[in-house]
Amino acid sequence: MHKVAISGTGVFTPEQIITNDELVKAFNAYADKFNFENRDLIERGDVASKDHSSSDFIFAASGITQRHVMNKSGILNPDIMRPQLQKRADDAPGIMAEMALDACIKALKQSGKPASDVDCIIVAASNHERAYPAIAIEVQNLLGAGGFGFDMNVACSSATFGIQAATDMIKAGSIRSALVVNPEICSGHLEWRDRDCHFIFGDVCTATFLERLDTINAPHFEIISTKCATQFSNNIRNNNGFLRRSLPAGLTDQRDMQFMQEGRKVFKQVVPMVSEHILNHLADEGLEATELKRLWLHQANKAMNDFIGRKVLGRTPEASEQPNILQDYANTSSAGSIIAFSHHSDNLNKDDLGLICSFGAGYSVGSVLVKYAG
């Protein structure tokens, strides 16, 4: 069995930013317009009026202050309330492949390896731009990489599940290296007209380069072990899919074709599931939580991360021990823990242990235990 390490990460961050205040202003204008246009139905009690959103609520409930998006103008237009992306010709790079390419180039640069050394590309994300051909194969082509590529989806846990798949293939010797890429255009599946969730997501793409330990010539993190778990729940769900036009409602606008969640239930059920998962992963390795120098958690909600950190470490973690990036990026689904890992891996000493953990719909939880090798 070969040993495996992460020798590079890359983050593509969209230039356009929406602050909470901008988001709330647009939502409130939409709500006022909706209430005016439906005033008779609302008065008769046939339609529920829409309440205003609030920046103070958003920050207090989530810790989010802004999000990056691929298209701001459509989302903030009260007549549109969704991103407006240009249709691209089939022979032009797709939008997800383009984001992925940027993140992959950054990850490879950090690892000091050329694209020709990449044996496998896994595009692991919550939503894929199309059904096929796989985005990973398009990225392989754009990058000039060899080997093979495939797409996978485990919602917010896609990155860590992808890292486990890549690690196992490198360990077994079927590949020498892999890029695990997480292009997340969460703005496409978010219902911007629903105040309960309109603030949750942002767009980004992350890439992680993994290779055999004996081929590395850059600072790296050795992967000690990975652990994945799933447990079925309908509390985070999106019913969009290829059967949509075959169903009675066809292509009409339907709420359940976007992200839906029972936020309170998710919070209550996922926090203990994740804390227990991390503690079990450490126990499998004969480790105590006190031996962890850093926790790079999924970035959905600040209070959620605070709870998990306290439960795992048995005390309130220092901000530097458990870095959050959600205040700037919002929830970027599978990419969140990798952004935290990529942006906050400094000030570690040789042999320090850290854990990347993502969790979400499924339910699903994946963890990657790493050792800094300098």
156 is catalytic: yes
Q: How far apart are CA 119 and CA 140, in angstroms?
A: 9
- Minimum CB separation of residue 111 from ligand COA in Å reads 29
- Minimum CB separation of residue 30 from ligand COA in Å reads 12
b/e sequence 79-109, b meaning 16+ C-beta within 10 Å: eebbbeeeeeeeeebbbbbbbbbbbbbbbbe
Looking at beta carbons only, is 72 or 195 nearer to ligand COA? Answer: 195
- Give the residue closest to ligand COA by C-beta: 263
- Interaction site with ligand COA (CB under 6 A): 53-54, 57-58, 61-62, 156, 195-196, 199, 236, 261, 263-264, 266-267, 300-301, 304, 331, 360-361
SS (H, E, C) 84-131: CCCCCCCCCCCHHHHHHHHHHHHHHHHHCCCHHHCCEEEEECCCCCCC
Looking at beta carbons only, is 261 or 324 nearer to ligand COA? Answer: 261
Looking at beta carbons only, is 142 or 197 nearer to ligand COA? Answer: 197
**CA of 363: how far to CAs of 226, 261, 331, 335, 358, in Å?**
17, 12, 16, 17, 11
- Minimum CB separation of residue 98 from ligand COA in Å reads 24
Q: How far apart are CA 312 and CA 289, in angstroms?
A: 6
Looking at beta carbons only, is 120 or 339 nearer to ligand COA? Answer: 339
Q: Provide the CB-side half-sphere exposure for 333 (13 A, CA).
A: 29
Beta partners for residue 359, in sequence order: 365
The residue annotated as part of the active site, out of 156, 186, 205, 228, is 156
- Minimum CB separation of residue 194 from ligand COA in Å reads 9
- Residues that are catalytic: 156
